[in-house]
Amino acid sequence: ETGVTQTPRHLVMGMTNKKSLKCEQHLGHNAMYWYKQSAKKPLELMFVYSLEERVENNSVPSRFSPECPNSSHLFLHLHTLQPEDSALYLCASSQDRQGFGYEQYFGPGTRLTVT
């Protein structure tokens, strides 16, 4: 596997379910991100992890809970979601280093539908 992978690619869940999205990066990067892309809206940054520490929580509801067990893996735990949480959830990674460009590499996304 190369780049950034995300599983599952598609997920349908009820409002009372608990599920997790998984992201894995094979690029040796030290920062990982979760973004949300709703229909006809710009990408919204949700969470940022740098060196496995959360450095940003962009006012995301507590029904979304991120976890970064190591620099290669990132999870997004979901519980008690609402239909308006249906969206494409994108994971990205980058190599943080002072003074250099840190382009982000994105995974293919998980298309989530909450029923």
Partner 1 sequence: DAKTTQPPSMDCAEGRAANLPCNHSTISGNEYVYWYRQIHSQGPQYIIHGLKNNETNEMASLIITEDRKSSTLILPHATLRDTAVYYCIVRVLNNAGNMLTFGGGTRLMVKP
Strands (E), the chain: 4-7, 10-13, 18-25, 31-37, 44-50, 53-57, 64-70, 73-79, 87-94, 105-106, 110-114
Least separation in angstroms between CB 58 and partner 1:
8
Q: Which is nearer to partner 1, 31 or 81 (CB)?
A: 31
> Stretches 12-20, 59-67, 70-78, 91-99: which one binds partner 1 (CB under 8 A)?
91-99
> In the stretch 32-61, what mask flags binding to partner 1 with x, by CB under 8 A?
-x--------xxxx--x-x----xx-x---
Beta bridge partners of 106: 92
- Report if residue 98 touches partner 1, rule: CB under 8 A: yes
Residue among 27, 40, 21, 32 at smallest CA distance from 89: 21
Tokens encoding 1: 């596997």
Distance CA 19, CA 75 (A): 10
- Report if residue 69 touches partner 1, rule: CB under 8 A: no
The residues of the shown chain that bind partner 1, judged by CB under 8 A, are 4, 31, 33, 42-45, 48, 50, 55-56, 58, 90-92, 94, 96, 98-109
